[in-house]
Amino acid sequence: MQQNICKISKIGIPRAMSYYHNYPFYHGFFKELGIEIVLSDKTTSKLINEGTKHVVSETCLPIKVFVGHVINLLDKGITNIFIPSIQSIDYKINNCSKIRGLPEIIRNVIDRPFNMIEPTLDKTEKIGFYDFWNYTANAVGVTDKKLIKKAIDAGWEKYDNFLEMTKLGISYQTALENALNGVFENRHLQSVKPLSVVIMAHGYNLFDERISLNLIKKLEKMNVKVYTALNVSKENSIKSIHELGELMYWANEADLTGAAAYYLLNNKVDGIIAISAFGCGPDSLMVDEISYHAKKANMPMMNLTIDEHTGEAGFVTRLDAFIDMLVRKKRKETLIKTKINSISENEQKTEEKRLGFSNLH
């Protein structure tokens, strides 16, 4: 019955940008309205090349990837594509211009006829969350307020489940699959590993296996525990930013500065790895901010810059060297600790000797 309400039966969502954090919500929302979701294929080199052809060379990698995904959807024959413009998530907390202007870029660089569903979220200009979804629902032909409300609730349910699961330490891929299937897995994962690092990166860089060159799996193979922004709750990460004496400026600052700040302040990790796309404006500031605080706290930090030409070999060498350094640092620290312990034990013994206690035995 619901399918008769909607104008369109299929909607295309590019597997890039906001997909990585918000897909459970999109999935719940559109499923409730009875619309079939078609995702683009996973990122490949061919897809990136396709995207690179359409935009100017100064554009950053994530945008090139996004354009590639949109073209992929068009090749599949999808004519309705969901491209949100998330301008600001709170008063004067804005996104990067390129994310704000995603629909503008797509409209002008792709010269093919298709229908773009482009809702705007701009809390600075008082275009709120409900306006965002109302616009989307109207664009697909739903005007029933109750149904929209129901769909938003369904979206929240899946999204909350997803966040809850990732906070427990379940890996991104598993959590996403579970959330989409409506399963809630409540097992507390606490694997103990000798080393742990936090990765500060945008979700669209980190969880895209082609862009991040499978960084998380590589680290796990090296027996390193990996924390990401998804393991920290939003409140905690914002609190940590304030504790460092910084103010939130970018919409996705919680993903980068927030996560790194949380682990930096709690001293839970041995090192910080930052991944940023070449020429990324917000990243250049956020990484600098964290590196300033990391230096103060004597925390090792590495910044990896990626673009479409990043080779795997160079990437792995740097990662290996960094992890080696962390291992050596940790070994040295434990050695010093045990030495101090043994020294104090020796001192105790000599003290006992001086007092003549040892003769009593």
Partner 1 sequence: MSSLTDKKLNKDRYSQRGTSIAQKDRRLAWPRMGNISLSMEVIANTLGAKPVIPPANTNEALEIGVKNSIEGICLPYKLNLANYIMALEKGANTLIMFQAPGSCRFGNYTKMAQKTLQKMGYHFDMVVFDMYQSKIKQAIEALWHVTRCINPYRYYKAFSMGFSKAFAVDTAERLMFYTRPREINRGDAENCYKKWFKIIGDTNTIGGCRKLKKQIIEDFGKIPIDKNKIVPKVYLLGEFFVLLDPYTNQDIEKTLGELGIEVERQIFFSDWLEHVLKPSIFYRKESHRERCVRFAKDYMKRAIGGECIETVGDTVYAAKNGIDGIIHVMPFTCMPEIVAQNILPKVSKKEEIPVLELVLDEQTGKTGNITRIEAFADLVIRKKLRKENEIKK
Stretch that binds partner 1, among 10-18, 185-193, 281-289, 308-316 (CB under 8 A): 281-289
Q: Which is nearer to partner 1, 97 or 342 (CB)?
A: 97
Contacts (CB under 8 A) with partner 1, residues 174-213: none
Exposed (0-12), middle (13-18) or buried (19+): which is 23, by Cβ within 10 Å? buried
Q: Does 288 bind partner 1 (CB under 8 A)?
A: yes
Q: Which is nearer to partner 1, 111 or 345 (CB)?
A: 111
- Closest CA relative to residue 102, chosen from 84, 115, 116: 84
- Residue 203 tokens read as 């979700």
Minimal distance, residue 279 CB to partner 1, in Å: 5
Which residues have a Cβ under 8 Å from the Cβ of 343 and sit 6 or more positions away? Answer: none
Amino acid at position 133, single letter: W
Minimal distance, residue 61 CB to partner 1, in Å: 13
Binding mask 258-277 for partner 1 (x = CB under 8 A): ------------------x-
Binding mask 30-59 for partner 1 (x = CB under 8 A): -------------------------xx-xx
Q: Which is nearer to partner 1, 34 or 279 (CB)?
A: 279
Q: Which is nearer to partner 1, 33 or 244 (CB)?
A: 244
Residues 29 and 212: their CA atoms lie apart, in Å, by: 29
Q: Which is nearer to partner 1, 184 or 292 (CB)?
A: 292
Beta pairing class for 115-117 and 120-122: unpaired
Q: Are 119 and 133 in contact (CB under 8 A)?
A: yes
Q: Which of 217, 234, 337, 339 binds partner 1 (CB under 8 A)?
A: 234
Q: Which is nearer to partner 1, 38 or 285 (CB)?
A: 285
- Closest CA relative to residue 299, chosen from 335, 336, 262: 262
Contacts (CB under 8 A) with partner 1, residues 61-120: 85, 87-94, 96-98, 100-101, 103-105, 107-109, 111, 118, 120
Give kind and range of the element (H or E) at residue 59.
none
How far from each other are the two terminal CA atoms of the chain, in whole angstroms?
Answer: 91
Question: What residues are paired with 94 via a beta bridge?
Answer: 88, 250
Contacts (CB under 8 A) with partner 1, residues 126-155: 129
- Closest CA relative to residue 18, chosen from 7, 8, 10, 29: 29
Beta pairing class for 120-122 and 85-90: parallel
Question: What residues are paired with 271 via a beta bridge?
Answer: 197
Provide the CB-side half-sphere exposure for 120 (13 A, CA): 12
Size of the site for partner 1 (CB under 8 A): 49
Q: Which is nearer to partner 1, 112 or 361 (CB)?
A: 112
In the complex, the residues that contact partner 1 under the rule CB under 8 A are: 55-56, 58-60, 85, 87-94, 96-98, 100-101, 103-105, 107-109, 111, 118, 120-122, 124, 129, 234, 238, 247-249, 254, 276, 279-285, 287-288, 292
